[in-house]
Amino acid sequence: MKVSRCLGLGLSWLALAVAATACASRATPAGDEGKIMEQQGVSYVSGGDDAASMQGMLAIAAQFNVRLTMVDAERGKPLGGAMVDVASQEGRTVLHATASGPLFYMRLKPGAYRLSVGYQGRDQMRNIVVADEPLDITYRLSVNTLEDDWLLCGTTRCPAR
């Protein structure tokens, strides 16, 4: 459901846009990008926000058997901040992490898993089987931008809808 608000063209809307962008832009603690981490025996790494980070991620890609790329479905631009959840076939969570960049690599033991990637409350799930060959998966995620939620107008009254 879209929410329309009528705001004057003062600085208040700009402050709101900056605050909303800052909240959505980084959900992972600073310093975790590009650092190989481990959770319940699963090694993982995320990054790729800039050219140097992208090169670093590509250099270590061969060490991981599941490699995710997240992009904005409408614009095709790289997208960081997605939630990545991996559950075993029995439903036990083996990994729950926030991607710090558009690339997220993990090393899973061979077997069947339920993989879920979510962004802005929308999840995409799929079953995967990890075997000998690495899996390269691209998630095209819908992004709700500020323009989608707000109608900005220069008058004190918004036009009737």
CA distance 45 to 34: 6
> DSSP alpha helices (H): ranges in 29-145?
51-60
- Label residue 91 exposed, middle or buried (CB < 10 Å: 0-12, 13-18, 19+): exposed
Residue with tokens 């900005």: 152
CA atoms of 4 and 158, how far apart (whole Å): 9
**SS3 state at 149:** helix
Among 112, 146, 154, residue whose Cα is nearest residue 130: 112
Q: How far apart are CA 88 and CA 108, in angstroms?
A: 10
pLDDT at 84: 97
pLDDT single digits (tens) 47-83: 998 999 999 999 999 999 999 999 998 888 999 999 9
Nearest 5°: the CA angle 71, 38, 68 is: 20
Going from the N-terminus, what domains does the chain have, and what CATH number goes with each?
31-144 (2.60.40.10)
Query: Tens digit of pLDDT for each residue in 20-46?
Result: 333 333 333 444 567 899 999 999 999
Give 144's Cβ-side CA count (13 Å radius).
Answer: 12
User: Which residue has better confidence, 32 or 98?
Assistant: 98
132-154 tens-digit pLDDT: 999 999 999 988 866 544 555 55
User: What is the residue whose two structure tokens read 């000998």?
Assistant: 132
What tokens were used for 55? 């090169």
Predicted local confidence at residue 17, as pLDDT = 30
Q: What is the pLDDT of residue 121?
A: 84
Which pLDDT does position 27 carry in this prediction? 36
Question: pTM for the full model?
Answer: 0.70
pLDDT exceeds 80 at position 100? yes
Between the two ends of the chain, the Cα-to-Cα distance in Å is 14
**Taking 90 as the threshold, does the pLDDT of residue 93 lie above it?**
yes
**CB of 36 within 8 A of CB of 56?**
no
